[in-house]
Amino acid sequence: MRDIKDLLRRQNQIIDTTGWAVTHVLPTDDGPHTTAPFAYTVGLTAHDYPELITAGLPPEVAHSLLNNLARRVYDKAGRFTHGQRISDLIADYDAIIIDGSPTDELLPGMAINRYGRDQIRLQQMVWPDPQGRFPWDNGYSFDPQVQPLIAQL
């Protein structure tokens, strides 16, 4: 139980300092049937912003991208809309924001525990394949399990 208390204490410190924290969920052999690693913010809900989530990226990449987006929201009061293209986040590629709800594959548990499931709004940063195609595009080069989605565009 000490580990979760330490995690929550550290998360509270980060949220108090920054306004949000990034949490990672990495698949394990003995864990839930998560198909892809994912990361999400915790803390934006308290400021009436959706929490941000992304899936299928290495933790350090996901962390950096979510921090970039969260700064735009928290520090600059930016708002993202469903289907919005973001051209200045990933070098040489666009990302797209989609609105949706938690799913079995993308469940922001720490945010839900903190604020309650009915309070959580989610926006997912979706990244393209090397040809610039997204999971809903014909010819997307990755298996759908690589980047599960909270909704379709």
Q: Domain map of the chain by residue range?
A: 2-146
Residue 31: pLDDT band (50, 70, 90) is low
Phi, psi dihedral angles at 90 (to 5 degrees) = -115, 125
* 148 φ, ψ (degrees, to nearest 5): -60, 155
State the chain's mean pLDDT as an integer: 93
Buried b (16+ CB within 10 A) or exposed e, 35-57: bbbbbbbbbbbeeebbbbbbbbb
Q: Model pTM?
A: 0.93
**pLDDT at site 35:** 73
Q: Per residue in 99-121, pLDDT tens? A: 999 999 999 999 999 999 999 99
Contact 46, 18 (CB under 8 A): no
Q: Which of left, alpha, beta for 149 (phi over 0: left; psi -120 to 50: alpha)?
A: beta
